[in-house]
Chain A
Amino acid sequence: MAEQNSQSDVSDNGTGTHKITARNVNVFYDDKQAIDDVSIDVDMENVTAFIGPSGCGKSTFLRTINRMNDTIPSARVEGEIKLDGKDIYDASMDVVQLRARVGMVFQKPNPFPKSIYDNIAYGPNIHGLAANKAELDMIVERSLQRAGLWNEVKDRLSDSGTALSGGQQQRLCIARAIAVDPEVILMDEPCSALDPIATAKIEELIHELRGKYAIIIVTHNMQQAARVSQRTAFFHLGNLVEFGVTSDIFTNPQKTRTQDYITGRYG
């Protein structure tokens, strides 16, 4: 298929290996098909943006990458998604381990109703990453620092995470996700509930985090995709219409549907 050829052209990073390779992925909710034959590659140290109108399947596809769709009884995934060459839907894949490697940040900030410290310590505790309290303290501090929240909360780590502002809560959730040292971070419209200033902080954070992780961000906001990502995938009606280098997608789209969407013809 011509469409897939053009995809592999732009996503080939030269080495031929990708962090995530998805091939011919279909997702169904009961009988309704939400994702239709999507193939995509995601690389380390890259931000990949999924854009598209509401209901186009971009969030659904994102959730297949850490198998969060398993929590929806009616969802069914077909096709192949590989993380470092291993099929994550294979029976030998431990979904708990997978989610530790592929972290997720949700649309609405969802800190646990625990202290800021306990929010961050949650993941390291369940995975046994810290041998003692000092190590745990270090992980908490490092995660908060990486999420750019340390200076704001270092004096009130025992306050409830839910008492923070919306933008701080979202950065807390990012800190929580990176506390377990994931390789991939999935972000499902992380700024849609935030004001412009908080959004700018998150975007800055994404820039800084990019060097260590593979980041996939779903966004409604095309300017945001253009600002934060290196590669952009445009979804429409469950199809991956176009996938390529972000600047190409926004300045020189190959498909009319993409052009119509980014110029505001629909969506």
Chain B
Amino acid sequence: MSTPTARRRRLGEHVTAYGFLCAALVVFAVFAWYPAVRNIVLSFQEVNFVRGSSWVGLENFRRLLDDPLFATAWRNSALFTLYALLLGFGVPFVTALLINEFRHARAYFRVLVYLPVMLPPVVVALMWRWFYQPEGGLINEVLGTAGLPTPEWTNSSSTALISLVIASTWANLGTATLIYLAALQTIPGELYEAAELDGAGIWRRIWHVTVPQTRFVILMLLLLQVIATMQVFTEPFVMTGGGPEDSTVTVMLLIYRYAFVYNDFGAASAMSLLLLVVLAVFSAAYLRVTRGQQK
């Protein structure tokens, strides 16, 4: 842009370029930039569709803090994220590692793990709700046949959250597995050979070659998964409705309730703002990681 020729380009060329851009600018302005700014404004307002909105200072935040479900929702979302990391993070990596070593049936494994991604999350949630039925459900039938304990799953407040995590991991692990698989295939074979010459066994090769070589992808997926799971909504909404005993009320579920059940858009916006601040920290970290890689 700073070269003299570029500066001397005719005005007409810039106008043409903005002609190509204008539709995108309009949809971004109206449906992305404006809502982002408006969220901040709404957080400090009482939203009234008839009389118009008025400033209320921190009233919305105060009302949220008085709600015992506020802390519950944050704790549940954090626990969901943590469980999903413990379960959903190791499993795709190990799966990819295994598939990458196999010389047979690789295409079959790849298609298999990605198949659930093609099912809409609502369908996944409804089908798992049925599988989880303590009596006569598929899961407990299989576990009972294998002689394993048969818990109450979504019917008990102690296992409901982890039940949602299992269903969501089943549905989503395909994406992470395939990305790992692609990353594993970029590791130069000589590195493994060199490690072998140094006497490294298979576990040390994983720890000293595989993990460092895929470090960037691992970190990227970690952050993306945290950002996605902190916003979990469909699974609790469809499978448990937040119960039993509020054990699956998540942040997005509470935001939804404030807006569309209690009709309190101010408090809902205030809670969204808090969620956005938390997510922005992870997004910023994600951007730093991806930028750093590109340089």
- A joins B in a complex: no
Residues of B in contact with A (beta carbons under 8 Å apart)? none
Residues of A in contact with B (beta carbons under 8 Å apart)? none
